[in-house]
Amino acid sequence: MIDDHPMIIEGYKNTLLGENQKEYQIKIDIASNCDDAYDKILKSSQSTPYDMLFVDIKLPPSSDGTITSGEDLAKHAKELLPKSKVIILTMHREDHRIHNILKNINPAGFLIKSDLTSSELLLAFNNIVKGKAYYSATVNDHFRKMMTNKFSLDEKNLKILYHLSRGVKTKNLPNYVSLSLSAIEKRKNQIKEMFSISKADDQKLLEEARKRGFI
Amino acid sequence: MLRFFYRCTCLLFIISIIIGCNGSERTPEKKELKSNLLESYLDIVKDRKNSKEERRSNLEKAYTIYSTISDNIYKVEKNFELCREYYSLKEYEKYKDLSEKALKLSKILNDSLSIAKAYAYLGIYYRRSKLDNIAYKNFYEAEKIYSLWNYNPENVKYVANEHGKVLIDIARIRQRAKDYSESEAITIKAIEKFELAEDETYIPLCYTNLGILAKFLEEYDKSIEYHKKAIEYAKGTDDETSRTLASYNNIGTVYKSQKKYAEAKEYYVKALSYKEYLSKNKKIHSRLIDNLAYVNFLSNDLTEIPELYFKALKIRESIDDKYGITTNTLHLAEYYQSINEDSIAKMYAERSRDISLELNNNEELLKSYRVLSDIYEGNEGLRYANAYIRLNDSLVREERLYRDKFARIEFETDEIAEQNLQISRENEILIIAILGLTALFLLGYIIFRQQQSNKELLFAQTQQEANQEIYRLLLNQQIKLEEGRQMEQQRMSEELHDGVLGRLFGVRLSLDGINQRANDGFTEARNKYIDELKSIEKEIRLISHDLGTETLTADVAYIDAVESLISDLCAVNNITFEFNNDEDIDWEEIDDQKKINFFRILQESLQNIFKHANAKSIKINFDFTEDKINLTILDDGIGFKSNKVKRGIGLKNITSRVSQMSGVVQFLSNKDAGTKVSVSVPV
């Protein structure tokens, strides 16, 4: 279990150990930062690999700065421990982040902390142990939204829409999205075309994006 | 300096004349009237046919009018005319007064020719008064001006004529002082001037003077020639007769000096034939008779002697010709001495002596002393002889002095002029120096003031700069403060999100987990609290979100931010909203402070609505009218009594923010009628 809040780990433990002790023998290692977590993952990969990883997204970065979040950590874990199931637990519920995590990690479980109750956590745990993926309602919502659209927007496009919706001006977008201004303009036009509102202004674009659930 | 002064006074006078024209002589008509009257009086005076009384009374009238004239140029002109008339009427003191006035006026007008003329007039007065020294001085002053005068074609004749007159006057004074050669040179110069002036009026006088001079120089033939020339020139002139008679008399005298008595007698008789003229001019008549008698006496022709002497004496006594009488009585004394009538001779000689003493006529006195010394014998005779020698010596001495005198007068006059010039030059230098110093001082003062004001300006400028700097610093401070606040908000947001929320989540999860296992009958109750915890989490996340996204930096599209604020808040509070933004508002141009203020006002108002209003929908409008941004927030809530809820923190904040932007805010509400907040802010 990787989380920088001992209280949260305590919560996980309380939930899992209370009920499941009867069915499963659960041995838990905990790590509160990326360095620790990476060390432990590495160690386990050489001895007994973990069956399951609880990964928080927001974590204190590693001392060498190569691993900055649970996302990076999960990527490493997938390489080192290909058989272990990764469960992402995060407070973040923004579409583009969800999208990103799903795309990059494709975790066995994706739980949004704010939605989570102990029974849901247990449900998820049991499902994943049985080899079934489990996603929080919010994540499923995202999937649904993605599915209802005939197309999907990539991370960069979603970011553009997200920042635009926050009120960032197009000319300042390069500071938020690692793209040149012209590239951003191009993408914005592409999005508009996809929304079939080619000549519309940003206001319209955002309205449409909101309607279609991209924001 | 003097000239400068005159110029100033002259200027003042001209100004005063100009003013005077509008003032004392209110109309040009009046001025003209005056001059007309004056001319008419003068015409009467000038007409010699009128009686002397009539002329005199008219002259007085003319003088009265003349006194009231304020046009100085005209006044000077008339002044000379009046002078001439006074002279012709033998009012010599009046003549002198007027001449002096003319001199003063001319000096005021800085009119050189008039000044010279006035000097000449005064010279004539003093010569008449036998004050040759003063007369000479005046003539000399006049002559100086004329000789320095640059002739110009316009008035060359006039100036030459005037110059000639002055020269002949000088020559005659010099002649009387027995400075013959100088007098002769001046006379010739005078003739040249008259020739230049093409005016022969005074040429006879010149030749007469030359004749007299030649006689004194014992060039008798030349003298006679000159006198004859005088007669020639006098022909056809107004005073031909008087000139001719004078010349005849003079020629007679020359012949008498040459002891050519017959020729002398011939001329006297010739002169005496002008009976008509002589009957009117008794002085000349008596002189001619006396001279004829004396020539007769000298040529031993005693037929009409002493009758002729008595005849002359009688005429002279009748006209009180004292000079004539001295000569006449002396002639009688000589005659009576020659016929040994010593007592009668004595009587006449003494009479001549007394009158000569009275007249201060030294030449006749000397003659009388000679006669008396001859008549008296013994001590008395010796006494007269001594008196004669003394007087003769003193006369010789005086003559010598006299000749030098003119040089001295000229020198003194020139010296005074020189001194005046020197003084005026010194004064000019002084004035220039003072002016220069004043200018220098003024310049210095101006420069000083300039520097002072420059300093002041510089000071004001630096002060302004300092103010601007302070303002900038304040603004920076404000921005930093805002940044700091935002950073703090961001930090709080993150702290809430990642820390508090996380821990709360952990606690809830733990509690939930434990609750699943506990079977004490309170599971439901605890579940309720766990749900409550969940809702607290939700709320904290919202707060965190609000804190984190409230970044009103320049690169945030303002209206989007506003709308997202409204939509977020309304979504949370389950209220529908309508938001309109006037396209005319150029938010990019509006300064950040105002934008932030609007944002906060909106936030505050919404907060109020959510807390108190119980509203179902709200309507928010940004309008742009007449350079003003109007924000209206309308809700359909329960409202409040405007006067009751006056100064809640929320309303106070809104009011202060609006007044900061020098705008107007209005809260309109009534119970159950919703609330309307109107904010109007000038751009």
Look at A73-77, A91-95, B326-330, B588-592 and tell me which has the smallest mean pLDDT.
B588-592
Neighbours of A194 (CB within 10 A): 17
Chain B CB contacts of A16 under 8 Å are 513
- Residue B3's pLDDT band, with cuts at 50, 70 and 90, is low
User: Among A123-127, A161-165, A171-175, B569-573, which range has the highest average pLDDT?
Assistant: A123-127
With H, G, I as helix, E, B as strand and everything else as coil, classify residue B629.
strand
Residue of A nearest to B558 (CA): A167
What per-residue confidence (pLDDT) applies to B28? 62
B345 burial class (0-12, 13-18, 19+ CB within 10 angstroms)? buried
pLDDT value at A196 more than 80: no
* Residue B451 confidence class, pLDDT cut points 50, 70, 90: very high
How many CB atoms neighbour CB B26 within 10 A? 11
Distance between CA B219 and CA B187 in Å, rounded? 16
Beta carbons of B507 and A5 less than 8 Å apart: no
Give the mean pLDDT of B401-412.
Answer: 74
Whole-number pLDDT of residue B2:
46
**Is B499 within 8 Å of chain A by CB?**
yes
Question: What is the structure's pLDDT at B431?
Answer: 92
Residue B16, pLDDT score: 46
Packing angle of the helix pair B378-494, B132-148 (nearest 10 deg): 50
**B164 close to B198: Cβ distance less than 8 angstroms:** no
CB hemisphere CA count around B151 (13 angstroms): 13
Residue of chain B whose alpha carbon sits nearest to that of A165: B560
Is the CB of A118 less than 8 angstroms away from the CB of B512? Answer: yes
- B510: distance to nearest CA of chain A, Å? 4
Q: How confident is the model at residue B617 (pLDDT cuts 50, 70, 90)?
A: confident
Residue B510: list chain A partners with CB under 8 A: 7, 10-11, 13-15
- Chain B residues inside the 8 Å CB shell of A58: 498
Contacts of B661 (CB under 8 A, 6+ apart): B593, B594, B597, B681, B682
pLDDT for res B18 = 46
- Considering chain B, what is the average pLDDT of its residues? 82
DSSP character at residue B590: S
Are residues A169 and B549, on separate chains, in Cβ contact within 8 Å? Answer: no
Q: What percent of chain B has pLDDT over 90?
A: 5
User: In this predicted structure, what is the pLDDT of residue B21?
Assistant: 43
Shortest alpha-carbon distance between residue B571 and chain A (Å):
14
CB within 8 Å of chain A, chain B residues 331-370: none
Residue B518 has pLDDT above 90, yes or no: no
DSSP track, chain A: -B-S-HHHHHHHHHHHHHHHTTT-------BSSHHHHHHHHHHHHHSS--SEEEEESS-PPPTTSS--SHHHHHHHHHHH-TTSEEEEEES---HHHHHHHHHHH--SEEEEGGG--HHHHHHHHHHHHTT--EE-HHHHHHHHHHHHSSS---HHHHHHHHHHHTTB-GGGGGGTSSS-HHHHHHHHHHHHHHTT-TT--HHHHHHHHHHTT--
Spatial neighbors of B313 by CB under 8 A, at least 6 apart, are B286, B290, B325, B328, B329, B332
Q: For B286-311, b where at least 16 C-beta lie within 10 A, e where not — what string?
A: bbbbbbbbbbbbeeeeeeebbebbeb
pLDDT at residue B272 greater than cutoff 80? yes
pLDDT at position B80, please? 86
Residue of B nearest to A94 (CA): B545
Select the residue of A10, A19, A169 nearest B517 (Cβ to Cβ).
A19
Q: Does B518 touch chain A (CB under 8 A)?
A: no
**How is chain B split among helix, strand and coil, in percent rounded to 5?**
75, 5, 20
Q: Beta strand pairing status for B675-682 and B664-669? A: antiparallel
Mutate to test the interface with B, among A89, A115, A169, A207 (most CBs of B within 10 A): A169
Q: How far is Cα B120 from Cα B87, in angstroms, rounded to an integer?
A: 13
For residue B9, pLDDT beyond 60: no
Closest-CA residue of chain B to A206:
B560
Of A6, A117, A171, the CB nearest to B512: A117
Strand partners, B527: none
Q: Are A87 and A108 in contact (CB under 8 A)?
A: yes
HSE of B576, CA atoms in CB hemisphere, 13 A: 3
- How far out from the chain centre does Cα B175 lie? 48
pLDDT of residue B452: 93
**CA distances from residue A37 to A43, A70, A92, B440, B649 in whole angstroms, order as listed:** 10, 10, 21, 93, 50
Buried b (16+ CB within 10 A) or exposed e, A7-18: bbbbbbbbbbeb
The nearest CA of chain B is from the CA of A46 a distance in Å of 31
b/e code B346-357 from CB counts within 10 Å (16+ = b): bbbbbbbbebbe
Instruction: Kindly indicate the confidence band of residue B435, based on its pLDDT and cuts at 50, 70 and 90.
Output: very high
Question: How does residue A168 score in pLDDT terms, banded at 50, 70 and 90?
Answer: confident
- Residue A88 is predicted with a pLDDT of 92
- Lowest mean pLDDT, pick from B130-139, B442-451, B488-497: B488-497
Distances, alpha carbon B36 to alpha carbons A173, B32, B67, B131, in Å: 106, 6, 15, 38
Among left, alpha and beta (phi > 0; psi -120 to 50; other), residue B543 is alpha
In chain A, which residue's Cα lies nearest the Cα of B499?
A5
A22 backbone dihedrals φ, ψ, rounded to 5°: -70, -45
Q: Does B539 touch chain A (CB under 8 A)?
A: no
Out of A4, A113, A119, name the one closest to residue B505 (CB): A113
Test A166 with B549 for CB contact under 8 angstroms. Answer: yes
- The answer to whether the bond into B306 is cis (omega within 30° of 0) is yes
Confidence (pLDDT) at A22: 66
Distance of CA B69 to the CA centre of its chain: 24
Q: Specify the DSSP class assigned to residue B111.
A: -
pTM summary value? 0.45
Closest CA to A91 of B541, B457, B152: B541
Among the partner residues A7, A12, A175, nearest to B507 by beta-carbon distance: A7
- The model's pLDDT over B588-606, given as tens digits with 9 standing for 90+, comes to 777 767 777 787 788 888 8
Residue in A with minimal Cα distance to B510:
A11
Chain B residues within an 8 Å CB radius of A15:
509-510, 512-513, 516
Strand order in the sheet with A109-112: A52-56, A85-90, A109-112, A134-135
Q: What is the largest CA-CA distance in chain A?
A: 62
The pLDDT tens digits of the residues spanning B308-358 come to 888 888 888 898 888 888 888 888 888 888 888 888 888 888 888 888 888
Interface residues of chain A, partner chain B, Cβ below 8 Å: 3-19, 58, 91, 113-114, 116-119, 121-122, 164-169, 171-172, 175, 202-203, 206
Out of B199-213, B305-319, B412-426, which region has the weakest mean confidence (pLDDT)? Answer: B412-426
- At residue A191, the pLDDT reads 82
Model confidence at B52: pLDDT above 50: yes
| Chain A residues touching B501 at Cβ < 8 A | 91, 113-114
Best mutation site among A2, A15, A20, A123 for testing chain B: the one with the most B CBs within 10 Å? A15
| Chain A contact set for B548 (CB, 8 A) | none
Q: Does B513 touch chain A (CB under 8 A)?
A: yes
- Residue in B closest to A112 by C-alpha: B505
Cβ–Cβ < 8 Å for B383, B402: no
Q: Are B272 and B252 in contact (CB under 8 A)?
A: no
- Is B509 in Cβ contact with A9 (below 8 Å)? no
